[in-house]
Chain A
């Protein structure tokens, strides 16, 4: 399986909204609603922000939302705050061999 494709960088000013894309294939993102998003600050472990395409774990602000269209999933961060500056990774389940694949990561900068 191939890695999911994410833009290497994204940016926005405080209060703005930013959307990060994650493109897979019909073998993973396109078929299964099992996309998740992780936030990682430097030197820290990844933190789950979105799972099953659009569900938010308890404690994650509702400024974070997820969606999917075809083979592309998206993470939208609304009302950007300084603490949102981090790396974001998407991942998907791929059903044929029960594999898990990640995107290369997107560095989000809050200007």
Chain B
């Protein structure tokens, strides 16, 4: 069965760029959509964006100016870059597979990213 694992720095400096990678195992990244989410400590879930294996993307309008999601089919990975980060971007970041139009499943375990100097 498909499993996802987020990886990347747990600490990012203010005004810097947050970079995370999601590695997909147990299945191919081909023919599916893949998504990023985040959850600030003690708060709710926020959709960041998704990417099709071919590279087509769609982003949350509130983050669109700062977000880039890319895919590397040769490595079965997709990545997130969020620029000009502030403390408000501190959160647990999750990746997930999108099956159909409303089926985000499975999810990675999540990775905590703190924005601080």
Contact = CB atoms under 8 A, between A and B. Distances in A.
B6 to A, nearest CB: 10
A48 B109 CA distance: 14
Interface residues of B, number: 21
Given A99-B58, A99-B61, A57 B47 contact: no
B13 interface: no
B44 A45 contact: no
A36 B103 contact: yes
Nearest to A55: B103
A101 B60 CA distance: 9
A100 B27 CA distance: 24
B44 A48 contact: no
Interface string A85-111: 000010111000111111111000000
A104 B44 CA distance: 5
B78 interface: no
A92 B94 contact: no
A93 B102 contact: yes
Interface of A: 1, 3, 32, 34-36, 38, 45-48, 51-52, 57, 89, 91-93, 97-105
Given A45-B108, A102-B44, 9 more contacts: A36-B104, A38-B45, A38-B104, A46-B107, A51-B100, A51-B102, A93-B101, A97-B61, A104-B44
7 contacts: A45-B110, A46-B94, A47-B105, A47-B107, A52-B100, A57-B105, A102-B46
